[in-house]
Amino acid sequence: MGMLIDGQWSDNDLRRTNEKGEYVRPESPYRFFIEKGSNQFAPEKDRYHLFVNAGCPWAYRTLLYRSLKGLKEIISVSLTEPAAGKQGWTFGETPEPLLGARHIHDVYTAADNTFTGRCTVPVLWDKDHQTIVNNESADIIRMLNSAFDEIAPASPDYYPAELSADIDAWNDEIYVNVNNGVYRCGFAQSQEAYDKAFSALFGTLNKIDRHLADSRYLCGETITEADWRLFATLVRFDLAYHGQFRCNLRRIADYEHLWPYTRDLYQQPGVAETVDVAAIKGIYYGSRAPGIIPGGPEIDFAAPHNRC
C-alpha cells in the first residue's frame, strides 16, 4: 500500500510478514487518551473527529461505538472510499471537508509533517490542537465507551468493572485468533503460516460456538466490548474472509450458535445502519487487482435470531 517517509509519500512499504511468512500487524504510533479533567485531551462536544473506512473492521469498531453510544452529534466523521488507491486510503476526487485531505496520509502529515510509517485507519483527530489523538481502534472504542458519558445520552457500559477480567480474556484470544487471525490467513506467505493461522481461527470459532450454546453473549446475558470486537469480524466473514482470505472451512452461516448470535448483535439498536456491505466488499475485493466486486453472497442479517 505504501507509506510516508519523513512526511513524503513512498510506494515502498514496511514488511508485513516475519521470516516464517507469518503476518505481523504493526504497532499504532498514536496512543493518547481523551479523559475527564485532562489538560491535553478533555471530552468536549464537536472537538473530535474520526477519519475512517467503513469497510475496515478496525475502523468500523469506532463507527459502531459512535452509534451505540449516541455520539453522532458529538464526534464528526469523514469516510474514505472503500478501496485503497495508489496512495493508500483516499477520499476520492473531492477532498474531505475538515482538513481538505485527499488521502489519509494527508491527515498524518497535518499532525506531523515529518511522519514516517504506514497511514492506517481509524484516526481520532483533535480539532483544537490540530493533531492525532489516537489511531489504535481498541483504545478509541474504550474512550468512546465512557469518556463522553457526562455530555452524551445515557447508554450501556460495554466494559463494566465486574466483567472486565472476562472481557479482557475473550479480547486477548479473539484478537489473536479471529480479528487478526483472518489477516494471518489472508496475508500468509508460507503454507506453514497459513495452516497455523487457519487452525487457530476455526478452533476458536468452534470454541465460541460451543460457548454460545449456553450463553447468550460472551460474558453471559450482557453485551460487552468483547461481543462488539468479535462482531466486527463476524459481519465481514462470509462477505469477504471466507473467499478472499481463504478462511473457507465453513461460513459463519453454517454455525448453529454463532450465526444467530451475529444476527442478534446486528439487530441491536443503532447497529444495522453502521454495516455497509458495499464498503466491506469494496475494501477486500476492490483494493486487489483486478478490482472486481462479487455479486454475492446474499446474507440476511435481519432474519429472526430467536435468541432470548
Q: Which of 23, 48, 183, 266 is catalytic?
A: 183
Angle (nearest 5°) at CA 122 between 10 and 173: 110
CB-based contacts of 229-232 (< 8 A; 24+ apart in sequence): 229/61, 229/138, 229/141, 229/171, 229/174, 229/175, 229/179, 230/170, 230/174, 230/178, 230/179, 231/64, 231/262, 231/265, 231/266, 232/57, 232/58, 232/60, 232/61, 232/64, 232/179
Q: Which of 23, 30, 48, 56 is catalytic?
A: 56
Q: Does 183 qualify as catalytic in the annotation?
A: yes
- 43 close to 147: Cβ distance less than 8 angstroms: yes
Q: Does 56 qualify as catalytic in the annotation?
A: yes
Cell of 171: 479480547
- The pair phi, psi for residue 117, each rounded to 5°, is 150, 180
Catalytic residues: 56, 183
